Structures are given as C-alpha cells and as structure tokens.
C-alpha cells in the first residue's frame, strides 16, 4: 500500500537553481494538491488539480508551476529558487467527495541557500 | 473566505491528563471538518472527521463534535499518553474550489511521563 509517494525527501538548492518535486499516487484519485508547511503558519495550498490535464492556483502560487500529464502524477516545479521557498512540501490526493479525507505523502524538505 | 483558528500552542501535559485543543472555523455553506495528526518527520494522518452538524468523530480515544451553532470542532481526549506527542491540525473542506483542505495553524502537543 504505497498511497502517496513524494520524491526526493530532502534537497538543498542554491538561489536561482531549478528543480522538480514529484508526487505519485496509486489510489486512482482525481484530485491532487501541493501544500507547503512553514512554522506557525499551518499548511498553505500552492496549486491543485481536479483531474488529468487540469491545474489551478491555490493561496501561494507565485514562484511555482505544476503539471498533471498523467492522473497518478502531479509535479511541482521551481524555476528559480529563492530562500523564501525554504519549506517542507506536502503532496496530497483525494477522491471527488468533499467529505472524504486527503491522503498525504511524507513530505520533501527543501532548503534554498 | 474560509478559515480555521486553533488554540495557540505549544501545549504540555503530563501523562493521563485531559486534553482539549480548541478549533473554530469560518465558512459559507456546510463544510466537512477534520483533525489531522503529524508525528515528527512524517506526513499528516487523518485522526477523525465529521461531515454534518452534531456528528461526533472519534478515533484512538480522541473525540470531536461538529457544533454548527458555535462553529467549533474541539478535539478532546480523556487520558493522554506520551505517544500522543505530535502536532494536531484542524481543517475544513468544502465542495467548491477544488475541495481543498483549509488548515488551522497547528498545535504542538508534548506529553511528559
């Protein structure tokens, strides 16, 4: 039972570098989400997707791009990393029922120096 | 927009003490309400949920009742254990806007033996 898998688990970037975070789910969920977690701020939604080929902006989308080319994968890209993007990133997925829970991956800890 | 407010932490208790973590929300419509728990170095796990007014969610000795009149979903446990030490997040989910989860800030709980 893999659930939601995120890669990599840790990454250190220099300012201006780019990277892609990969999220994969094996539950056939339609909805997928990227959140960032910062101390004292809970989790904030970056981008989300309600189906293959669709994406939408969340609360804090600036500096990030996403793609959902396959139903099971949701990629988060940082084109030019900034120190303000140092955070822990969580991917989640769910069914379309709004009373069902989101299932989370174990997170990617990103440090931008 | 929707929002969730949790009691400020951190909370430190002795083993077998009674736990309450307050959670109130602001939302249009009729959201579903959730409590998630995050153990150190891990992702978020669903602890319990309630999907309509007066519903009580329960799991592992934790309980929370959906109170529409006070827009609250307080988490309680009668006797905490050291293993309950974690960060607890209250969250709501609506049908609109991709059915995203909106989180509170999180409450750090430490239980001492």
Q: How many CA atoms lie within 13 A of B103 on its CB side?
A: 25
CA distance B41 to A61: 25
pLDDT tier for residue A96 given thresholds of 50, 70 and 90: confident
Q: Does A31 touch chain B (CB under 8 A)?
A: yes
Q: What is the CA B29 to chain-centroid distance, rounded?
A: 20
Counting as low any pLDDT under 50, the low residues of chain B are: none
pLDDT for position A47: 97
Residue with tokens 């109170």: B67
Q: Which of B86, B102, B111 is closest to B26 using CA atoms?
A: B102
Bridge pairing between strands B32-38 and B86-93: antiparallel
Which A residues, 81 through 100, put their C-beta within 8 Å of a C-beta on chain B? 90, 92, 94, 96, 98-99
CA distance B49 to B56: 8
Residue A90 and residue A109 in contact, taking contact as beta carbons nearer than 8 Å: no
Q: Which of A74, A63, A92 is closest to B89 using CA atoms?
A: A92
Q: Reduce the DSSP state of residue A68 to 3 states and report it.
A: coil
Interface test with B, best of A10, A97, A98 (most B CBs within 10 A): A98
pLDDT tier for residue A97 given thresholds of 50, 70 and 90: confident
Q: Do A99 and B94 touch (CB under 8 A)?
A: no
Residue A54 and residue A75 in contact, taking contact as beta carbons nearer than 8 Å: no
CA distance B59 to B74: 14
pLDDT for position A42: 84
Residue A62: which residues within 8 A CB-CB, separation 6 or more? none
The encoded tokens of residue A70 equal 């396959």
Render pLDDT for A25-73 as a digit per residue (tens, 0 to 9). Answer: 999 999 999 999 998 778 999 999 999 999 999 999 999 999 999 999 9
- Report the chain B residue with the minimal C-alpha distance to residue A35: B101
pLDDT for position A1: 63
Q: Do B105 and A104 touch (CB under 8 A)?
A: no
Q: How far is B67 from chain A (nearest CA, A)?
A: 16
Task: Give the mean pLDDT of chain A.
Answer: 94
pLDDT for position A79: 92
pLDDT for position B41: 84
Q: Do A99 and B32 touch (CB under 8 A)?
A: yes
Q: For residue B107, what are the CA distances in angstroms to A41, A52, A102, B45?
A: 11, 35, 19, 15
Partner residue opposite A42 with nearest CB, options B42, B43, B104: B104
Buried b (16+ CB within 10 A) or exposed e, B77-93: beebeeebbbbbbbbbb
């Amino acid at each position: 039972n893999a659930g939601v898998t995120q890669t990599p688990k840790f990454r250190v970037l220099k300012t201006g570098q780019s990277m892609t975070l990969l999220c994969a789910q094996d539950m056939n969920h339609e909805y997928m989400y990227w959140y960032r977690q910062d101390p004292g701020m809970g989790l904030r939604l970056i981008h989300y997707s309600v189906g293959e080929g669709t994406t939408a902006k969340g609360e804090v989308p600036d500096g990030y791009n996403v793609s959902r080319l396959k139903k099971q994968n949701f990629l988060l890209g940082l084109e030019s990393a900034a120190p303000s993007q140092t955070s822990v990133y969580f991917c989640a997925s769910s069914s379309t029922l709004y009373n069902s829970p989101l299932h989370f991956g174990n997170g990617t800890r990103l440090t931008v120096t | 927009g929707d929002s969730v407010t949790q009691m400020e932490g951190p909370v430190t208790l002795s083993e077998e003490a009674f736990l309450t973590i307050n959670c109130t929300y602001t939302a249009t419509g009729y959201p579903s309400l959730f409590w998630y728990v995050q153990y150190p170095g891990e992702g978020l796990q669903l602890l319990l949920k309630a999907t309509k007014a007066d519903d009580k969610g329960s799991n592992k000795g934790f309980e929370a009742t959906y109170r529409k009149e006070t827009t609250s979903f307080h988490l309680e446990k009668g006797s905490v254990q050291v293993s309950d030490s974690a960060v607890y997040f209250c969250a709501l989910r609506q049908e609109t806007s991709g059915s995203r989860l909106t989180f509170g800030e999180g409450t750090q709980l430490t239980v001492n033996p």
